[in-house]
């Protein structure tokens, strides 16, 4: 397992919401991102830190 994945505190992930929609986020282990399905954005996790900036999010394709 990638060590960066193990550094994210699961309790922190439960508390975070999408800064744009204020909706729930889903952790995608395979891409190491937090996904907001409502606005179709994926927020990266770098060195165990979720980057919760809309400008850093990746747009999800259909």
pLDDT in tens, 6-54: 467 788 888 999 999 999 999 999 999 999 999 999 999 998 899 999 9
CATH code at 3-59: 2.20.25.10
Domain chopping of the chain, boundaries: 3-59
Instruction: Give the position of tokens 């992930």.
Output: 13
Q: Tell me how far apart the alpha carbons of residues 39 and 23 are, in angstroms, rounded to a whole number.
A: 9
- Backbone φ and ψ for 42, nearest 5 degrees, come out as -120, 120
Cα–Cα distances (Å) from 4 to 8, 9, 22, 38, 55, in that order, read 7, 11, 25, 26, 22
β-partners of residue 50 are 45
pTM equals 0.84
């Amino acid at each position: 397992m990638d060590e960066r994945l193990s550094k994210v505190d699961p309790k922190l992930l439960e508390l975070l919401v999408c800064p744009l929609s204020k909706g729930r986020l889903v952790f995608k282990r395979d891409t190491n991102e937090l996904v907001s399905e409502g606005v179709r954005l994926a927020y990266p996790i770098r060195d165990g830190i979720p980057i919760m900036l809309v400008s850093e999010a990746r747009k999800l394709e259909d």
